[in-house]
Amino acid sequence: MSSHAVVSRVRRILGTRRVGHAGTLDPAATGVLVLGVGPATRLLHYLVGADKEYLATMRLGVTTTTDDAEGDPVDRGDASGLQPEEILAAVDRLTGDIDQVPSAVSAIKVDGRRAYQRVRAGEDVDLRPRRVHVSSFTVVGMSRVDPGQLDLDVHVACSSGTYVRALARDLGRSLGVGGHLTALRRTRVGPFTLDDAVGLDDPPASLAAAVLHPSEAAGRFLPTRTLGAQEAAAVRRGVAPAATGSPGPVALLDPSHGLLAVAEDSGPRAALRAVFVG
């Protein structure tokens, strides 16, 4: 299911058009997709760049057109002779700050069109490397599958914009045998994990109950500042408060801990970036 299809279903379940997501999850993947509902859709902007974590299976010995199991095999190697220490050394080289060429079937726009749209139209797509950060790339299991192929179960924690299937491709390439992704499960987006999630097949009441109050949601990933009654009343009128002293966006709460706005310092005062009250 695509992320757009998930949003459409949640709109029907909750009876509102105001639903959005904080970053696409590939249709072949499972796991965490953070949604914003109602006024909280304006908070999604602050989650798009959040770090993420994944559990994945990478198959060494086969390269595909899409760097995952959805594509056609284009090259085969022999991974039967690979030693664990050799694999772990290659994994280590793909950890930290790396320059990664995104998968050609990514959602990156090239001259106004998504890269995957161009690939599916038969065009050649040449994407530039991007600096990403892989804070953790750990092999948690190895298993022999077909002759000449080896499956690695891995845990990856990385910056936004990192493609796990590109890690599988580059790992196989560095070992000289090719590689692609066969399974992907996103386990965390910023502060939100699988433990916070509900399934689309759960009862509608469970989904409705899982919707966080905007102030609680904002407090998960933004610093908060509770205003006094006078400052809160001024923010309700669109008047920005004094600077917060924070280097980034801050969630402003009223004395009852309701979400008033998200603000960022701009000189001696804070600029209101998103206001949640009239």
Catalytic (active-site) positions: 26
The single-letter code of the amino acid at 173 is R
Query: Which burial class, exposed, middle or buried, applies to 92 when counting CB atoms under 10 A from its CB (0-12, 13-18, 19+)?
Result: exposed
CA atoms within 13 A on the CB side of 4: 0
Region at 187 (left for phi over 0; alpha for psi -120 to 50; beta for the rest):
alpha
**Beta carbons of 260 and 277 less than 8 angstroms apart:** yes
Q: How far apart are CA 276 and CA 227, in angstroms?
A: 15
Region at 223 (left for phi over 0; alpha for psi -120 to 50; beta for the rest):
beta
Query: Which burial class, exposed, middle or buried, applies to 174 when counting CB atoms under 10 A from its CB (0-12, 13-18, 19+)?
Result: middle
The CA dihedral of 248, 268, 253, 220, to the nearest 10 degrees, is 10
Whole-number CA gyration radius for the chain: 22
Q: How far apart are CA 173 and CA 81, in angstroms?
A: 15
Structure tokens of 113?
Answer: 């069109």
Q: How far apart are CA 53 and CA 160, in angstroms?
A: 10
